[in-house]
Amino acid sequence: MILGAGMTGLAAGLVSGLPILEASEFPGGICSSYYLRPNSSQRLHVAPRDGNAYRFEIGGGHWIFGGDPVVLRLVRSLVEVRTYVRKSTVYFPDRELVVPYPIQNHLRYFGTDLAVRALREMTEALSAVSRTRRTMADWLRESFGPTLCELFFDSFHDLYTAGLWKRIRPQDGYKSPVNLSLAIQGAFGDAPPVGYNATFVYPAEGLNTLAQRMAVRCKIHYGKRVVRIDSRDKALFFDDQSVMRYTTVLSTLPLNRMMELAGLTLDEEPDPSPSVLVINIGATKGPRCPGDHWVYVPRSNAGFHRAGFYSNVDPLFLPSDSHRRQDRVSIYVEKAYPDGQKPTEVELRAVCRDVLEQLQAWGWIEAAEVVDPTWIDVAYTWSWPGSTWRERALQVLESHEIYQVGRFARWVFQGIADSIRDGLMAGGAMDAHGLSRQDSG
């Protein structure tokens, strides 16, 4: 059987025919759209007929970037998709300065003195013979030098990693590309867009449409939340008091949570996984509302590190009567927390209030019509320097016939397209061994 009807689980179920057990009542996981009418708190999982609703996503904006052409062909066979060129900036509120992303390739926005100093430091850092690079903080300092780290990278990554950046292994370089030639070019003129998500696609009718059209081709049992796994007797226990036996499990649940559910431990600290509070906001547009798809923020009174603008990607994220006028804006704001330290209801209301006040003070929004927070328990996956926890955790689960598939399950960074690919491959492997025909009955 398959645990989880997110994109990976749906893809696995699509090709294998294995039953999927999903905790919620809807498919898609955090990659699923929903709708809220203005001044309403009732989530709708199907767009209302009159279109008078904001469209949001459970986990904030999830855009489909990269991916194998055959996977994108599958997506296009299920839904109409549109292609976009990324528009992203960094906002420095203390300077009231907006700089295109990534800042290291747009140094001219900071003035000649800072640009020259930053280029000199980047040159010295990249040519240094001795490099430690054990932690993300080491990697940032030895890639960009002290000026850019003090200006942006240190404070942003402190927020982004929920304070872990001085302790975790460096992130992949393609998230913060280091290219001295482009940095020099951007110090004097325009530099080309770079990064893994410079272009992306998105379903015209919302990400939930893709999930729903995959789901109708699968065998899904909703409302089946696993609370314990007996890995020795191969039994799954659910919060509805039911029990299911299994022979083999394809799990898309986060690796650390699967280890906990199965009661399996290692003589090594698990790798860390900050949680994220995503606050979806529908509001009237402010006079200084950015035109970007998302904006990185190294400092804010509310402590968030990124704001995304759904409606700048496509006006269909707005209520129907604003599609042409675009006098409203649909936003998601992300704030990271240490693993599982979910704010209380009182704290949550205070954070939402602080976020709204911050966005209003910056002139990004005026009156808010909808404020809807969602909690992503495992949002990012990092590793400790020298850690072997991920590899060992995967091995011990596999020894109990539990195979982890997808981004959070295998503790890797990847997008939706790659997660769909992983599900297709894993589901195909199960089907090739006859397991779908044996077990799904």
Three-class SS state of 34: strand
Q: Which of 160, 188, 216 corresponds to the end of one domain?
A: 188
What's the CATH code of the domain at 53? 3.40.50.720
Upper half-sphere CA count for residue 53 (Cβ side, 13 Å): 21
- For the segment 95-104, the average pLDDT, to the nearest whole number, is 94
Residues 398 and 259 in one domain: yes
Residues 71 and 22 in one domain: yes
CB 356 within 8 A of CB 371: yes
What is the model's pTM?
0.93
- In a domain? residue 413: yes
pLDDT (tens digit per residue) in 289-317: 999 999 999 999 999 999 999 999 999 99
pLDDT at 432: 59
Q: Which of 155, 188, 221 corresponds to the end of one domain?
A: 188
pLDDT at 172: 62
Q: HEC profile for 306-374?
A: EEEEHHHHCHHHCCHHHCCCCCEEEEEEEEEECCCCCCCHHHHHHHHHHHHHHHHHCCCEEEEEEEEEE
- In a domain? residue 305: no
pLDDT at 363: 97
pLDDT at 178: 82
- In a domain? residue 275: no
pLDDT (tens digit per residue) in 148-178: 999 999 999 999 999 999 999 987 665 667 8
Residues 74 and 109 in one domain: no
Residues 38 and 179 in one domain: no
pLDDT at 367 over 60: yes
- In a domain? residue 327: no
- For the segment 203-219, the average pLDDT, to the nearest whole number, is 93
- In a domain? residue 357: no
How many domains are contained in the chain?
A: 2
CB 54 within 8 A of CB 41: no
- In a domain? residue 47: yes
pLDDT (tens digit per residue) in 35-56: 999 999 999 988 899 999 999 9
Residues 180 and 110 in one domain: yes
Residues 72 and 205 in one domain: yes
pLDDT (tens digit per residue) in 375-391: 999 999 999 999 999 99
Closest of 92, 125, 90, 91 to residue 105, by C-alpha: 90
At residue 361 the predicted structure's pLDDT band, cuts being 50, 70 and 90, is very high
- In a domain? residue 282: no
Q: Which of 188, 218, 240 corresponds to the end of one domain?
A: 188
Please give the single-letter amino acid code of residue 282.
G
- In a domain? residue 294: no
Cα(224)–Cα(242) distance, integer angstroms? 9
Give the residue numbers spanning the domain of 413.
2-83+200-268+386-439
Token pair, residue 381, equals 């996956």
